[in-house]
Amino acid sequence: MTMAEAGYPPRQGLYDPALEHDSCGFGFVADIKGRPSHDIVVKALEVLLNLEHRGATGAEKDTGDGAGILLQTPHAFLATECEKLGLALPGRGRYGVGMVFLPPNQAGREAIDRLFQETVRGEGQQLLGWRDVPTDNAALGPTAKASQPVIRQIFIGRGEDVTNDAAFERKLYVIRRLVEKKVSRSAIPGRSHFYVPSLSHKTVVYKGMLNASQLRTCRTPRSCPPSAWCTRVSPPTPSPPGDARTRTATSRTMARSTRCGATSTGCTRASR
């Protein structure tokens, strides 16, 4: 019996049934002409929901082992929101945005902020500022809430000596890894909550310890910033309490950059 006879669709476009294989639950939705649209994000959320069986849930039905989504950096939205904070972002591609999980205690957050400042400066880049991400943990289970971090976005400006996009992306990677190592080797209170899901000038990741279906409890208004492609992200399976990965079990994040519910970690019932 051929693959087609077994029920696979016929070969078409970029699809070839001969390439079908088992995987760990990954989905990618894109417009092959690179046209951003709200529909891309809606379809990505549908993929996420259809892959819910690839996740796991323990005794708490409202605490999953993780779900997430990666999408293009919504520059227009971020520029507007940051302007309200007195933070002027440079043009698209001239800055990186990081999604950062931080300790619940202020002392820990301030210590990590200082590490970012010295590391960014040491790498010849500019720390533009931070933005608090609105959150709503009402639908999360006790385990997820117990390990909930503070969620903020960091903005890093591109240094004058960085000549191209690839070089800037490498700088952002180096900054992230250096800060991660510094935090892990420090005595910063609450450092086990620290985690950086993404730091890039091209993309942003939203993820959390919840089930994919929890995203669908919220509506997806058309005001969501469009994206030309979205990817389903599978966060690591939580380790025992106290491990840094478990501590990243975030609340249902609702950066209004994903008012459509495109965050893996939340809906959009929060106010600005």
Which residues form the catalytic set?
24
End-to-end CA distance of the chain: 56
Closest CA to 55 of 236, 248, 216: 236
Alpha-carbon span 160 to 29, nearest angstrom? 35
DSSP state of 194: -
Looking up tokens 């459509």 gives 260
Closest CA to 135 of 263, 7, 2: 263
Please say whether the beta carbons of 253 and 136 come within 8 A.
Answer: no
Q: Sign of the C-alpha dihedral, residues 169, 68, 234, 183?
A: positive
31 CB-contact burial (10 Å; exposed 0-12 / middle 13-18 / buried 19+): middle
Closest CA to 63 of 267, 238, 226: 238
Q: In what order do the strands lie in the sheet with 195-200?
A: 126-132, 150-157, 95-102, 195-200
CA distances from 104 to 129, 141, 191, 193, 268 (A): 19, 18, 10, 8, 22
